[in-house]
Structure 1
């Protein structure tokens, strides 16, 4: 296979096609009410805060995963692609751990936003 050959068409996979797209849209749509709800209700709930953090983490991971897939082609940069994929997974886990620590041992994301808003 040469550099200018046509890209091979992958086999159809419904679980990675429309279901994947639908999952991404549901996560993105779920972030909107969870961002507004704590302030509209006038109370900050740790469960709602944790769900918001989880959705933000998943949304960010999926977005960066698309960047790695689109801009680091496996065909030309197989080692770099694998390295960036593993790096993204490691950073996502580290951010998840940081959010968990911030939620359990500090004020949490929505309380921080509330304090910054009223400062």
Structure 2
């Protein structure tokens, strides 16, 4: 009749409602929904188990010289950023060197991201597209920085003005 449900009915209702709320949310639940995760890339097996692993051709551009050059650029950015602000003088040559080193540093960093996260074996076409997009973006930013340096106030003066604003 229209009264309150019995204790047994309330307990069963509360338990089923509670269980339905916990479905897929419990900590360390091993059957969680994975609809947001992308499917794995194409799986290819080349050769057999007994084939040796391919050894790449030695190249100093992809080894320690490349790593040393990256570290040299990263370390060189520190004095290039501090010098114009500490000395108080605006030198167009220092500004141009700062822009060049910053552009190279950014390009090499994004290049590492493409190398790390878009494997050549799995996604050769996608990697080539991202490689060309990175090169186009680097050229575009380089032209923009050149225009900003020659036709406007330059990056150091712009940072000074923004800092004082």
Q: Any unmatched runs of 5+ in structure 1?
A: none
User: Which has the larger Rg?
Assistant: 2
RMSD over aligned Cα atoms:
1.7
Matched, 1:115 2:161: yes
Match of 1:51 among 90, 97, 103: 97
Report what 2:61 is aligned to.
Answer: 15
Report what 2:45 is aligned to.
Answer: 2
Structure with more helix by fraction: 1
Report what 2:138 is aligned to.
Answer: 92
Report what 2:41 is aligned to.
Answer: none
Give the CA deviation at 1:16.
Answer: 1.8
CA distance in 2, matches of 1:15, 1:90: 22
- Over 3 Å counting, the alpha-carbon distance change for 1:9 and 1:50 in structure 2 is same
Matched, 1:32 2:78: yes
Give the CA deviation at 1:58.
Answer: 0.2
CA distance in 2, matches of 1:55, 1:89: 16
Equivalent residue pairs, number = 118
TM-score normalized by structure 1? 0.92
1:70-99 deviation digits (Å, cap 9, x = unpaired):
100111111100010011000000000000
CA distance in 1, matches of 2:94, 2:76: 11
CA distance in 2, matches of 1:2, 1:73: 15
Structure number with the bigger relative contact order (C-alpha 8 A, sep ≥ 6) is 1
Q: Any unmatched runs of 5+ in structure 2?
A: 1-43
CA distance in 2, matches of 1:11, 1:104: 43
Q: What secondary structure, in the 3-state scheme, does the structure 2 residue paired with 1:15 have?
A: helix
TM-score normalized by structure 2? 0.67
Give the CA deviation at 1:8.
Answer: 3.5
